[in-house]
């Protein structure tokens, strides 16, 4: 079992920045990818960014060049630096930890961007 605790959500004006953090605890040794997904009202959950244990990153098209994901394996923590945010980034952001055969989700943190 893995527990994921997110922090750093909140409200920001367009053009502003936020940094999300997610700390994993429990059976973290075999986590392959850690990442962030988001879900806006009435929309499907979508990938924001993910990072492998070795540092390989993948970004959703809408956040490329604005968001940056990083990972501290020693602290079992993944970060999402969000810059130049716009109202379309408003969503609940979920941390995700992927193993070979399973995945775990955090409880989600609300991010609201006002114009």
CB 14 within 8 A of CB 115: yes
CB atoms within 10 A of CB 24: 20
Backbone φ and ψ of 71, nearest 5°: -145, 135
At 65-95, the pLDDT tens digits run 999 999 998 999 999 999 999 999 999 999 9
Backbone φ and ψ of 49, nearest 5°: -165, 155
At 4-37, the pLDDT tens digits run 999 999 999 999 999 999 999 998 888 899 999 9
CB 93 within 8 A of CB 27: no
Q: What whole-number distance in Å separates Cα of residue 26 and Cα of residue 43?
A: 31
């Amino acid at each position: 079992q893995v527990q994921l605790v997110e922090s750093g959500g909140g409200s920001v004006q367009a053009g502003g920045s936020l940094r999300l953090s997610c700390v994993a605890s429990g059976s973290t040794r075999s986590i392959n990818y850690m990442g962030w997904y988001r879900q806006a009202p009435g929309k499907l959950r979508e990938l924001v960014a993910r990072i492998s244990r070795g540092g390989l990153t993948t970004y959703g098209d809408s956040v490329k060049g604005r968001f940056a994901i990083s990972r501290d394996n020693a602290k079992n923590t993944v970060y999402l630096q969000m810059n130049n945010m716009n109202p379309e980034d408003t969503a609940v952001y979920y941390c995700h930890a992927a193993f070979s055969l399973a995945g775990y989700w955090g409880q989600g943190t609300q991010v609201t961007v006002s114009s």
